Structure 1
């Protein structure tokens, strides 16, 4: 579904990504793990064409999207939930969800209503708070709203950048359970996470990024017990 082929990105004189290649197959949860500054967010922003690329190609559903406008990439069925939630604090929960449908102009009114029901089933707390302003929600609820808003465009692939960042452990568990449910709904998930243990425990496959290069890849559960990964990211 998604293929990155020898991608390099520079920020001025600073190298952010060096010749990385990875694949995401339909129905998979793929995770990118690595420390701060490893290049995880840059990878995701490159896919959405929000940063300039030095070299390499990106393909989505066998189409070259390397230089495709970000809004067109969204309309092709690829949703990007950025780090930091980026909800609309002055809009209600319901209005935030409605805003998510702008990414897919083909949706009918009936389909939008069905997606609202689906999101409320997946995130019951959002249904309880549908008339509240987004800014009045807790951090965990805002993260749920950001993910739900991404799902409102009915994407085939959803990219989640640090969904557990800054959340209490009990909320983190809830977020990861929701990611599994999203995959079970037929979505493909590309996940960036600093919580390597949780991410690898739910991922089909994972890639380890270090200073802009992929140093390891494999099945999630294999990386979870890899001595290098355990030493560097799992505190073992």
Structure 2
């Protein structure tokens, strides 16, 4: 397994956000977490990135226990986290934003840095067109592309995407999902996806986990969960 979460519990004061969840992710899988607001999806990603403290549990990446590592060291190890809300640097140019994504990667040669930039510009031609433009002047869809691209600049094995379609037009959402499929097809990226559009997420996911009140209540292949009557009623509006 590339990522293993075992009995993870997270509390916010007296509120239990995660209650002993366990998740396994294989290399080159797309795995999605679905559930209502407050189910614990974002907390799961932030726990992996060590942006929140856990009460108990073990998180392993490539067999290494990362449960108590520093966030920057986790990124350097090969995990990128693209949080909800994009969080780009609005006053920096597109290219400067991208370069910020590689800061944790020590001793990168200029040649390797340029290679990574060019790789991102091939994935996101719109960003190449706007590489000198301030990030804050981009459209919402372009800012989301920039946030994902910045995450990819660390050349992660695992990229975690938190609500990448939030607030975007349908045509841009399709572009984002096409990109996720494209990343998977490279054979070099594993993706952990949180997405409000459960139907689209399950449609491209190898497997899914359903979170409810901080607990995993259902798991299965993406297409199987799409057909599950409980999932349809609760998350697909059917």
Short-chain TM bin: over 0.9
1:202 aligns with 2:204: yes
Aligned to 1:135: 136
Q: Deviation string for 1:56-92 (max 9, x for gaps)?
A: 1100110011111111111101111111000000000
Q: Secondary structure at the match of 1:189?
A: strand
1:83 aligns with 2:84: yes
Counterpart contact for 1:88–1:96, Cα < 8 Å = yes
Choose from 231, 235, 238 the match for 1:233: 235
Structure 2 counterparts to residues 82-231 of structure 1, below 5 A: 82-185=83-186, 186-231=188-233
Q: Deviation string for 1:117-163 (max 9, x for gaps)?
A: 11111111101111100000000000000000000111111111110
Counterpart contact for 1:180–1:202, Cα < 8 Å = yes
Shift of 1:106: 4.0
User: How many residue pairs end up in the alignment?
Assistant: 236
For 1:123 and 1:221, locate their aligned partners in 2 and report how far apart those are by CA, in whole Å. 28
- Please list every run of at least 4 consecutive aligned residues from structure 1 whose deviation after the TM superposition is greater than 4 angstroms: none
For 2:160 and 2:197, locate their aligned partners in 1 and report how far apart those are by CA, in whole Å. 16
RMSD: 0.7
Aligned to 1:65: 66
For 1:202 and 1:112, locate their aligned partners in 2 and report how far apart those are by CA, in whole Å. 31
- Give the TM-score normalised by structure 1: 0.98
Gaps of 5+ in 2: none
Shift of 1:183: 1.4
* 106 and 206 in structure 1: CA distance in 2 versus 1, 3 angstrom threshold: farther
- Give the TM-score normalised by structure 2: 0.98
Counterpart contact for 1:104–1:154, Cα < 8 Å = no
Q: Secondary structure at the match of 2:52?
A: coil
For 2:120 and 2:180, locate their aligned partners in 1 and report how far apart those are by CA, in whole Å. 13
For 2:185 and 2:20, locate their aligned partners in 1 and report how far apart those are by CA, in whole Å. 32
